[in-house]
């Protein structure tokens, strides 16, 4: 964090001699870049979500899904636990 403060102080020493108009223009540019980052991240999240749309390729009805789940159950099956020793 101290590095950030030193960097900010360094830039301030360079920029303090600029005109008010130039400083305001720079503030606007920095603000726009921060807002753009937030918007870009939001769009990236939405794009990720949209990429999942339609990922389930088939269209089984609820009864078929229930039947598949019941068939895949393994109740009463003894598990075989392997040791990690070699």
Return the domain boundaries, the chain. 20-51
Q: For the chain, give the number of residues.
A: 86
pLDDT number for residue 55: 64
Token pair in block for residue 28: 């606007």
- Considering the chain, what is the average pLDDT of its residues? 82
User: Using alpha carbons only, how large is the chain's radius of gyration in Å?
Assistant: 29
pLDDT, residue 19, reads 93
Contacts of 68 (CB under 8 A, 6+ apart): 60
Mean pLDDT by 10 residues, the chain (86 residues): 78 91 92 82 80 72 87 76 79
Two tokens at 18?
């600029």
Q: Cα–Cα distance between 27 and 15 in angstroms, integer?
A: 11
């Amino acid at each position: 964090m101290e590095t950030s403060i030193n960097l900010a102080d360094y830039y301030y020493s360079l920029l303090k001699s600029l005109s008010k108009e130039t400083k305001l223009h720079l503030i606007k540019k920095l603000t726009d870049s921060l807002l753009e980052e937030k918007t870009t991240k939001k769009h990236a999240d939405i794009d990720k979500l949209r990429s999942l749309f339609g990922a389930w390729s088939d269209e089984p009805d609820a009864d078929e899904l229930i039947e598949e789940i019941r068939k895949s159950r393994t109740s009463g099956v003894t598990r075989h636990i392997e040791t990690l020793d070699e």
